[in-house]
Amino acid sequence: TLAAKCLAASLELPMIQVRAADVLDKWLGGSEALLRSLFARARAASPCVLFLDEIDSIANNRAEDVTNDFTSRILSTLLNEMDGVSSAIKKSRVLVLACTNRLEDLDSALLRPGRLQEHFYLETPSAEDLAQILKLRFRSCNNDSELLNRKHILKIESGMSLYDRKSNLACLQKSLKFD
- Which of 34-43, 73-82, 165-174 is least confident? 165-174
Q: Residue 158 has what pLDDT?
A: 52
Distance CA 131, CA 3 (A): 18
Distance CA 47, CA 13 (A): 7
Q: Residue 153 has what pLDDT?
A: 55
Q: Residue 58 has what pLDDT?
A: 84
Q: Residue 177 has what pLDDT?
A: 52
Q: Residue 152 has what pLDDT?
A: 47
Q: Residue 1 has what pLDDT?
A: 78
Largest CA distance in the chain: 60
Question: Is the pTM for the entire model greater than 0.85?
Answer: no
Query: What is the mean predicted confidence (pLDDT) over 79-101?
Result: 76
DSSP line for 34-97:
HHHHHHHHHHHT-SEEEEEETGGGT-B-TTT-TT-HHHHHHHHHHHHHHHHHHHTHHHH-EEEE
